[in-house]
Amino acid sequence: MPPEEVQDPSAAEISHALPLPLSSSPRSARTGPIKTGGRVFVLDHTRWTAPMKAAIDSLLQKHHGEKDRLKLVDQEYADMVHQSATDPNSLLHPTTRLHISHYVKHLAKLLNTSSSLNTSQEKLLDTQQLWHSLTEGSDTTCVPVVTMEAAVVKPPTPALSTPLTQDSLEKIVEGILEKQQQQQQQPQPEQKRKQTKTCLACGQPKSRYGTDGSSIHFFYQQGPVRYFYCSKKVHQSYAAEGLSDAKMPFEQFVHTDFFQRELEETKKRVEEKVGKKRKQPDTHPAGRLCRFCHLELKQGPNSPHIHSGFPGVAGKYIYCPSKVYSLYRNEGMAREMSWKEFCASPFYEAERQRLVEERKKH
């Protein structure tokens, strides 16, 4: 007769639990931030698929009774997901240690329903006996209800100290009129007028006509070009070339050759200003840079870096193909390898040993 197999009690607990939904819903997926960049989808235990539930149940049985059981289950399940992923930069992590803890508590509630809610037969009998002992021999007393009508209260009207007469009403009206006249006679604070900017050439306000007629201003716009005309400024610029009128209106200045020269110079200034705005210096990447290849350390589809770790070694390891190639080029590495190629090569164990020795020094 073969010896009887001893069944693990944790396996029995998990097998008797109620089944969970077999399909995951993206609406119930929640996103959680990670330090390596990007956001990932995390599923609650109520939305785990059947393969997820079977894999986590087997890991819970494997580490039953060990210290940091949930942490070990979370690490091994994450390794399983990343090894099965086709993309080495995949950030998929369908569950976390917190959700596994919720799942274990869910199983415990399903198996210990009677004890947690105190609905066992013994507890129910004790409750019934206590209720009969408290209610035995009690009498009910009836008390008549009397309805009382609400009392009607009439507040007394206050008597006037002095009766109103025609003379007293006239005095009141005269006092009100005197107060209104006094308020109108008082000087009101003057409102501040809007100050107009002054022209730098003639010192007059930038209105169309000067206060004393010494300068005439005009604003002219053609497309994106805005031209401010000042007769005194134009006279100072072109007096040597034959412009004699210091108060020439803008309508006459338009028909001269000087207007086209002023307009072309204004267009050049606008184009130079726009060109300087477009030629902005290249912004440096905001994230951290690799000290070896000087690229961003942020993990992503277009990044050569892989954020991972070695089993048995605490801490995170960032794989840089250029750095690893420079370290093991003399030992036989022919080219830069991808993360999957590096894991299958003999240099993987050598890099692990180097990392262990390096962290021992610190």
H-only helix segments in the chain: 9-15, 50-62, 69-84, 97-111, 113-117, 121-135, 166-185, 231-238, 250-253, 257-278, 321-328, 339-344, 347-361
pLDDT for 257 equals 85
8 A C-beta contact, residue 1 and residue 9:
no
pLDDT digits (tens, 9 = 90+) for 76-133: 888 888 777 766 666 566 777 888 888 888 887 776 655 445 556 667 777 778 877 7
User: What DSSP character marks residue 312?
Assistant: T
| DSSP-derived pairing of the beta strands 39-42 and 30-33 | antiparallel
pLDDT tens for each residue of 268-298: 888 888 777 776 665 555 678 888 888 888 8
What is the residue type of 41? Answer: F
| Neighbouring residues of 315: CB distance < 8 A, sequence distance ≥ 6 | 309, 359
pLDDT in tens, 193-202: 666 678 877 8
Do residues 262 and 301 make contact, with C-beta atoms less than 8 angstroms apart?
no
DSSP strand pairing (217-222 vs 225-230) = antiparallel
Domain ranges of the chain: 9-112, 217-275, 306-361
11's CB contacts (< 8 A; 6+ apart) are 61
pLDDT of residue 270: 83
Assess whether pLDDT exceeds 80 at residue 33: no
Distance CA 48, CA 102 (A): 12
- Token pair in block for residue 252: 């006459």
Is 0.75 surpassed by the pTM of this model? Answer: no
Q: What is the mean pLDDT of residues 139-155?
A: 72
User: What does the pLDDT look like over 316-355, one tens digit per residue?
Assistant: 888 999 899 988 988 888 889 988 899 999 999 999 999 8
Output the average pLDDT for the chain: 75
Query: What tokens appear for 134 in the block?
Result: 């408290």
